[in-house]
Structure 1
């Protein structure tokens, strides 16, 4: 059953029609998308700053400090990859919701979105907890919509197919994020390994 049909007489959602609830969910997700985008930009600047410090220490032959900055830089890149992957996946989820909202596609079309949002919530929990919490709440709301529609219409949802689609979107987002970061961020300089022979001989 399509959203267009739901919005006509005999509404399924007496308090808030589905289309209005989708509008609210889309707006809330766009707010979180902007916050993730801002965090991604800050992380990229931070990573570049660490990279420059690593290079400077390397040029000054300060191996210990260079190694310290290199490790911090590597951790920053891991976090940047997580955030960029979340941003790209959320972009896909938003596109799906907007398509459903505008074209009145079947409710089954929004089922994978809940899975995508749950994965984003988990990924961002230790990076941007406030965004993670809000995305989790939106995911729960979308899940409720699907359940209510299923109960009211007797519509069956192919959860296995929906989960596979969500998994595919997340994997593609992670792959694109990794590729983009490799293109944008320079390789870390090769750091000299400690001369263990000298250390052993001095003992």
Structure 2
């Protein structure tokens, strides 16, 4: 038996080497498989991520069908945006009007105090400043009221779907307000100019949709009517918000702001 001991040990060592080699091959195979699996999964994720679904859209899709059944309405959205922007400017005008009213009240009290103290020069100075502020306040109040009417008209168009002829006066009113308030609040005048351009474009689109010609005569007449009504209401509210100046200083101040040739 000892005679075969050397052969047995040699064969045993040979088998051990074979098993080790097979084990190393299996481990290497697993590593290679894991690497292949990782790169395959990565490629699949990249393909899914970069896949352009719009280019692979089916011939008949729900979005295309719904687009024909219920087309989008950018005109309605544009009108709603104009309403919101006009309301913001209306709030700014109201805040400015409140500041003018407080400033006028302060100067009016100083004018009364100077009048009681028989300081005619100082009273006339304060009265002159009050008159200038009230001119600005009247313009501001008229613009606020006209802007309020324009917003109401746009809301009626948005809710009740009025015709194209209802859109024209709004753009004309906004244009007139922009011109009147430009010297007092230029920032608001700029914003109103942007809204006016938007309204004009919307009116043109509505004319194309409804196949109606854009009439520039009727909107101007309607706009003038709105501005006249707003001016009349502004005169009434001015008498309520601003007290009369003292009689002895009010007449010279009013004469100073009369237009040339008005007394002729």
TM-score, normalised to structure 2, is 0.66
Q: Which residue among 69, 90, 110 is the counterpart of 2:147?
A: 90
The offset of 1:191, in angstroms, is: 2.5
Specify the alignment match of 1:200 in structure 2: none
Structure having the higher Rg? 2
Deviation of residue 10 (structure 1)? Answer: 5.0
Shift of 1:175: 1.2
Cα distance in 1, alignment partners of residues 120 and 248 from structure 2: 7
Deviation of residue 157 (structure 1)?
Answer: 2.9
What's 1:166 paired with?
Answer: 223
Q: Are 2:84 and 1:27 equivalent residues in the alignment?
A: yes
Aligned to 1:47: 104
Q: Give the secondary structure class of the aligned counterpart of 1:191.
A: helix
Q: What is the Cα deviation at residue 125 of structure 1?
A: 0.4
**Residue 39 of structure 1: how far off its partner (Å):** 0.7
Unaligned runs of 5+ in 1: 1-7, 195-203
- Structure number with the bigger relative contact order (C-alpha 8 A, sep ≥ 6) is 1
How far is the alpha carbon of 1:81 from its aligned partner? 0.3
Residues of 2 paired with 1:10 and 1:101: CA distance? 17
Q: What is the rounded CA distance, in whole Å, between the counterparts of 2:164 and 2:219 in structure 1?
A: 12
In angstroms, what is the RMSD of aligned CA positions? 1.8
Unaligned runs of 5+ in 2: 1-68, 253-264
Answer yes or no: is 1:67 the counterpart of 2:124. yes
1:128 match: 185
Equivalent position to 2:95, from 33, 38, 55: 38
Q: CA separation in 1, counterparts of 2:179 and 2:159?
A: 29
Deviations 1:107-158 (A, max 9, x none): 2211100000000001110111111110111011101111223244431133
The two structures have a TM-score, normalised by structure 1, of 0.85
Give the Cα–Cα distance (whole angstroms) in 1 for the partners of residues 105 and 98 of structure 2.
Answer: 11
Q: Does residue 1:154 correspond to 2:154, yes or no? A: no
Alpha-carbon shift at residue 173 of structure 1 (Å): 0.6
* Alignment coverage as a number of residue pairs: 183
CA drift of 1:9 comes to 4.2
